[in-house]
Amino acid sequence: MVTSLSLPLFPIPISVYNFGEDNHKLNIDLVTDIFKERDRDPNGAIQSNYGGWHSNSSLEERYKSFEVLRKQIEDCSNDYCAKHGFETGLIVEGLWANMNQSGDMNVSHNHGLSALTGVYYPVESIVGKDCKFSYSENNPIKPGIYDGKKGGSVYFQDPSYGLKNRLKPKTKNAFTSVHYYTYPVAGVLVIFPSYLVHAVLPFKEKQTKRLSISFIAVYGEDEKLIEYKHQLKGILHKLKDTQGER
């Protein structure tokens, strides 16, 4: 008698934490502070963004709302480690905000110098001046890069992309799919390994804004280096503010 066993070896855990309406007040504060930061620093930074606005990092040092979110993300990041057999003790830092409008995108990239990274959505979208929160308990992660209709999705790429060409997929599942995507869902935090390549597709809808918040998570033994970086960033922020007042 022949028996068989298939094992899901080398899995890549992507965890979704859904705060839902419990974070509604915080989400409003985050959206307000993101626009405040964009007005304060309209140039922001050029990183993976093609168009759009990418803030400078460490917004948790400037806004209380971001510090509240940072603590939530840190708890979830260590929960991620505990669930998947990794050491806890991660410190979340360097939060930054992204604002994309029609035609803007973020090219494929990773955050390889950290242990974990991820994205939090304070709002689904903003049309004109109206915030669309649309909280949902459904699993937002789907196979593919988008739903075939609208842009604005973030998609994740299998590290073995391009190495399975001789196998012909018949159905979309965890063994055959080389991309997974999600759209912004208010109150949802997605955590994943920092080496995972990801990108954000552009969308066509006019007068629409897509907001997201990203971060890095590192281990506590790097705390002295983190503190030094924070001090250096604080000095740079003060210098920039002083120059802006001239």
- pLDDT band per the 50, 70, 90 thresholds, residue 180: very high
- The pLDDT-based confidence of 47 (bands split at 50, 70, 90) is very high
The stretch 147-167 carries a mean pLDDT of 93
**Structure confidence by residue, pLDDT tens digits, 200-222:** 999 988 899 999 999 999 998 65
220 vs 235: CA distance, rounded Å: 23
Tokens for 131, please give them.
């915030």
Q: How far apart are CA 141 and CA 161, in angstroms?
A: 18
Supply the pLDDT for residue 1: 93
Provide the greatest CA pair distance for the chain.
83
Residue-level pLDDT at 131: 96
User: d(Cα 207, Cα 245) in Å, to the nearest integer?
Assistant: 31
What does the pLDDT average to over 185-189? 98
Which string of DSSP letters, residue by residue, matches 79-103? HHHHHHT----EEEEEEEEEEE-TT
Which residues on adjacent β-strands are paired with residue 16? Answer: 190
Residue with tokens 């809808």: 205
Closest C-alpha to 136, from 18, 23, 26:
18
Helix segments in 3-122, DSSP class H: 24-40, 64-84
**Looking at the DSSP assignment, which residues form a beta bridge with residue 142?**
181
Residue 76 pLDDT more than 80? yes
What is the separation of C-alpha 227 from the centre of its chain, rounded to a whole number of angstroms? 23
pLDDT digit string (tens) for 111-142? 988 999 999 999 999 999 899 999 999 999 99
DSSP state of 162: T
Task: Compute the distance between CA of residue 225 and CA of residue 137 in angstroms, rounded to an integer.
Answer: 38
Distance CA 73, CA 218 (A): 12
d(CA 69, CA 92): 10
